Copies of this chain bind each other. A is one copy, B any other.
Amino acid sequence: MGNTSNDSGPQTQARPGRGDSDRAYHHGDLRNGLLEAARAILEEQDLSALTLRAVARRAGVSHAAPYRHFPNHEALLVELGLEGFAELRHFIVDAGKVGGPESDRIANIGAAYMRFVAKRPAVARLMFGPQLPHREKFPALTVAADAIGTEIGAALSDPNLGLAVWAAVHGLAMLVLENVIDLGQRRSGLHVLPSRSEILLRSLFATKRD
């Protein structure tokens, strides 16, 4: 209450008036700056490069500054993982909107899942790997993960089938992501795989109820 000139909430990038020093002592919105730096590292490098210190360096602050905004490294990872779950959920919801027989929706959702993993491999490793803390300590993670299963089930009119589809496409995605199997000609050619996996998924679920 009583804010004279400031609307509520943190301003995204603009630093307040001073402007003579290139680097203000106060970043302005370091929390988002850190998240953005972290996202960039996950895109350009991989999960093992996502050090708290590297994030701080990239955001242009000292290596201890992040502790004013995240209690520890884990908390940063949780935040990024939640973002990943939200994006994946979006992919799935969109893919489930397709009409026609259920096998089309299955194949479409599977392809979308593969596309997400291909687009954000490091985020997928974070979401589904052991780096995230025990879900009990962060209920939001459980909620976000459950939402994936719920959306798949909702698009398929049968929760049991939803779980089966999730397991199948998730397994395929993880096996390909970690190079355990090699669909397609060039190894780690993750980006051409949605169509291939769509075929596989279709052959898996098509004859069942169609």
Contacts and interface: CB of A to CB of B under 8 A. Distances in A.
Interface string A26-46: 000000000000000000001
Contacts of A208: 207-208
A109 B15 CA distance: 60
Nearest to A160: B203
Is the contact region of chain A dominated by helix, strand, or loop, or is it mixed? helix
Contact of A167 (B46, B149, B168, B187): B168
B164 A203 contact: yes
A189 B178 CA distance: 26
B200 A164 contact: yes
Nearest to A122: B130
Interface stretch (A3-11, A17-25, A57-65, A169-177): A169-177
A125 B125 CA distance: 12
Contacts of A170: 171, 174-175
B180 A128 contact: yes
A167 to B, nearest CB: 4
Contacts of A73: none
B145 A181 contact: yes
A99 interface: no
A68 interface: no
